[in-house]
Structure 1
């Protein structure tokens, strides 16, 4: 992103896109759970939850993590700007959108729909893979964001202790849930990790099914005899 004077981006939006989240807070470096996962729109800086006393009257936006990248809940970002046509994902029963484009290790193949800005494969009918990609495209076309921004005087965090307070990275198999508009070749997943996890699951299922016995069969005398049967004493073969 260029400076706000040339792109006409508001200061909070420019800071949000350039900020690095989930680093340790230098002010509370000796405290536990000091990750900077909150963005203060009034101070234009990332803070941790230990800093909330100094920002209790400010507009606060919680940054979450999904597949190890920064995301914002759709319900929160819609109070600040138009995020239509940005591909959303579901995690912890909430829809989220990526803040920045994710790095691509391979070019997407056989994808019928790609992000207008970064060419990442998307599901239909989305046009952008992240908030940043939509902003970049708007700035290239219109040169300003004023028509897409909303006035928001109050923006609060969820209650501490609720399921929505923190979002942990999703399991690797969550990445395999794609619709007909997306392709497996566009998924940034460690294939070796997936194969190892899948093999472990298959072995676990085989071991479980091997010892699964119905209640009726378990109570039968024949099964009890078979289970308690022991081999006799070993005998040496006779010498010729």
Structure 2
């Protein structure tokens, strides 16, 4: 559990806030989900609430299968995010804000989160931002060395989207632990061939099975040609007794 008294107010609220609830002020408006976090006011707002916060530090919140994620580029402006496993969705690297509940506890061989034991890829140590913060609070004197001074945090330049990533979207493990802050990461250590997904493996197996089958299966043209040749031959009649 987080020691909230040791966290700055904006971080404490970020880790505990419930996003994507409908905005009460704009409950009749479309796209009124509260998917923006104002670090200066420490509140979540919807796109229709932006006007009074236009000069504030704003963080876009996105979702993946009902779990909140933020862009890694934004997060690294606020704190050291090295060793937090990142993913790629909509051409952007994202990290989970909080740890996700696990349906079953299983710990075999491999790499695991230092806080919640969730399975990770090497060389990551944490599955989410909150897991790293929990670890630092247990092992370090405080977070002062890991928090950065950020006076300007605008919304994405491409335009304000709803931040929603549909449950059908697939988050692919990113190919690097390099952070924009340049602090404490391993750099470009991943090979994309190693970080392939289970779906890719299934496709490869299917393709390999098809490749094996091809030499033993004659083309359809050859089969149809042999049938035509048989039809052109003189039919053999059964002998009369």
Query: What residue in structure 1 maps to residue 117 of structure 2?
Result: 119
Q: Show CA shifts across 1:63-104 (max 9, x none).
A: 111232100100000100000000000000000000000010
Distance verdict in 2 for CA 1:176–1:90, change over 3 Å: closer
For structure 2, the residue ranges without an aligned partner over 5 or more in a row are: 175-191, 207-220, 226-241
Larger RCO (CA under 8 A, 6+ residues apart)? 2
How far has the Cα of 1:133 moved from its partner? 0.2
How far has the Cα of 1:54 moved from its partner? 1.1
Is 1:171–2:172 an aligned residue pair? no
SS in structure 2 of the partner of residue 146 of structure 1: coil
Mapped to 1, the partners of 2:197 and 2:108 lie a distance apart of 7
Q: So what's the TM-score if we normalise by structure 2?
A: 0.68
How far has the Cα of 1:137 moved from its partner? 0.3
Mapped to 2, the partners of 1:80 and 1:23 lie a distance apart of 24
The structure whose residues are more often helix, as a share, is 1
Distance verdict in 2 for CA 1:14–1:176, change over 3 Å: closer
SS in structure 1 of the partner of residue 120 of structure 2: coil
Query: What residue in structure 2 maps to residue 149 of structure 1?
Result: 147
Contact 1:109 1:183 (C-alpha < 8 Å) held by counterparts? no
CA RMSD, Structure 1 to Structure 2 (Å): 3.0
Contact 1:98 1:131 (C-alpha < 8 Å) held by counterparts? yes
Query: Aligned pair count?
Result: 185
Is 1:40–2:41 an aligned residue pair? no
Q: Show CA shifts across 1:17-71 (max 9, x none).
A: 1101001111111111110100000000111111001101100000111232100
Q: Show CA shifts across 1:202-224 (max 9, x none).
A: 9xxxxxxxxxxxxxx9xxxx9xx
Query: What residue in structure 2 maps to residue 135 of structure 1?
Result: 133
Is 1:54–2:52 an aligned residue pair? yes
For structure 1, the residue ranges without an aligned partner over 5 or more in a row are: 185-193, 203-216, 223-240
How far has the Cα of 1:107 moved from its partner? 2.0
Mapped to 1, the partners of 2:87 and 2:158 lie a distance apart of 23
Q: So what's the TM-score if we normalise by structure 1?
A: 0.69
Query: What residue in structure 1 maps to residue 96 of structure 2?
Result: 98
How far has the Cα of 1:106 moved from its partner? 1.4
Query: What residue in structure 1 maps to residue 179 of structure 2?
Result: none
1:190-205 mapped onto 2 (5 Å cutoff): none
Which 4+ runs in 1 deviate beyond 6 A?
175-179, 181-184
